[in-house]
Amino acid sequence: MPTAPPRTRAALAGLALGLALAVASGRAVVVVAAVPLGLLALVHPHLILAALPATVLVAQRLSVSLGGLRLGPVEVAVVAVAVAWVAKGVANRRLELSAQAIPLVLLAWVWAITLSLLGSSSLRAGLTEAAKWIEILLLATLVPLLAPGGRARYVVWGVAAAGVASALLGLLQFITGSGPPGFLLMGRFMRAYGTFQQPNPFAAHLGLSLPFALAWALAGPAGKRERWLLLAAAGLMGLGVLASWSRGAWLGLAVAAGLMAALMWKRVAVVALVLLLITSPLWVGPASSSALAQRALGMGGGVEGFNVAQVEPTDENWSVVERLAHWQASWRMFEDRPWLGVGFGNYEVVYGAYSVPRWSDPLGHAHNYYLNVLAETGLVGLATYIALGVTVWVTLARAWWRRPRGQAGGLLLAAIGVLAYLSVHSIVDNLYVHGMQVLVGLALAAPAWGAGEDAATTHGVVPCRSGL
């Protein structure tokens, strides 16, 4: 009997896996997602990476529950990526792995997360959040191996296309006033929220997507037409962020775009800084009366002192006081369990025992990811998370110092923009929601991916036995 080619056998295995998931869940949506994604990943793995950003837009609506854990298009797609890597190893009779600094420190961070779960109140809540970082680890490790050479362009366009689709929907909501009454602006517009049900995650998705389009247009191997299309895509996403009315996103995007511009054009950055200093009086003068300026400058909104329990909330200061109340609750968690925290993903579970009077709604997280890490994983976790951040920035800086061109330049600049945005916006929010961790995973893959490394020709190759 003739033997089927390895890729065909792998595709059949992927089909069987997708059908098994469908039967286990009893939901047709898993068939719709798992089967085609699995087959696509096995035949053309770079295309599943290109489709991955689109799954973020429907992550909340199409997820199902399996054993208390949530499974949706994002999770299915990441599993498909891992299966594609294994299938590639089976076909080539060797599994490829390249030892890189970022995945190794990511592994240490996952270990710190696991350590914090030893005394947690809810292991299920912890595993749900830990799974997101395992997805990031998988993408940071496997993406350079599955989309080598010029195939990164497909992924960049996948990110840009998903961002444009989300931005257009958000702008339509903003202009037509379609949405909940609480999102109404100036009596006529609506805060854009896209498919995320809330403006802040909508803005975060665009803020994490925009640098890919902008960087590929400015520093990547884009042709003239491609460059203008990507710049237009970045512009639409920027308008979407503006329409979200999210101050954290505004600040994060300003820092990210400013850093990217400074790296590309030092003279332009100097001129922009001078113009900012010259025009700064306008922000405290007549121009500050505009709704946009008032929103941007109203971060402190009537909050004086640090005793949140004694602050009377108003319409003007509500969002600020609410965040401060959650920051205080997270600090109380840290004081109670300083070394390993209350358990990763357990902030909402234990919030009631540490909450500030009048602020009983846990909101899911501390609205400051750094404090969230401190509360949930303690000093051990925070130190590991900081080590991860330092490793990432040092790796990116060293790679950029070599003046990369083409694909390497575009991907590195994109990663710098994404991580700058993430670092700033994380001060007031948690961006690892709604499947957006996959965009972080793609960014963390940039140093090895941008260099066009093929682990099969470098180091760390793990051969399979010939019987596979």
Q: 286-322 pLDDT, tens per residue?
A: 444 456 555 655 554 444 445 777 777 877 778 788 8
pLDDT of residue 456: 35
Range of the structural domain that residue 468 is part of: 1-98+459-468
Lowest mean pLDDT among 47-61, 202-216, 266-280: 266-280
CB 326 within 8 A of CB 316: no
C-alpha to C-alpha distance for 427 and 409, rounded to whole angstroms: 28
C-alpha to C-alpha distance for 98 and 289, rounded to whole angstroms: 55
Q: Give the residue with greater pLDDT, 22 vs 307.
A: 307
Does any domain span residue 375? no
The arithmetic mean of pLDDT across residues 77-83, rounded, is 90
Angle between helices 6-25 and 73-92 (to 10 degrees): 150
Does any domain span residue 48? yes
pLDDT of residue 127: 94
C-alpha to C-alpha distance for 277 and 270, rounded to whole angstroms: 11
- The model's pTM is 0.86
Percent of the chain with pLDDT over 70: 78
Please state, as a whole number, how many other Cβ atoms lie within 10 Å of the Cβ of residue 40: 21
b/e sequence 24-38, b meaning 16+ C-beta within 10 Å = ebebebbeebbbbbb
Angle between helices 406-425 and 247-264 (to 10 degrees): 150
pLDDT score of 328 more than 50: yes
Six-digit token string for 114: 């696991």
Six-digit token string for 338: 């300083």
Does any domain span residue 232? no
Does any domain span residue 83? yes
E strand or H helix that includes residue 185: strand 184-185
Does any domain span residue 47? yes
b/e sequence 271-299, b meaning 16+ C-beta within 10 Å = eeeeeeeeeeeeeeeeeeeeeebeebeee
Q: Could you read off the pLDDT of 113-170 as tens digits, one per residue?
A: 999 999 899 999 999 999 999 999 999 999 999 988 678 999 999 999 999 999 999 9
User: What confidence category does residue 21 fall into, taking pLDDT thresholds of 50, 70 and 90?
Assistant: very low
Six-digit token string for 401: 């110092």
Does any domain span residue 4? yes
CB 200 within 8 A of CB 246: yes
- Mean pLDDT across the chain, nearest whole number? 84
Does any domain span residue 15? yes
The arithmetic mean of pLDDT across residues 321-331, rounded, is 92
Does any domain span residue 32? yes
pLDDT of residue 441: 98
Domains: count for the chain: 1
Q: Which amino acid is at 303?
A: V
pLDDT of residue 294: 56
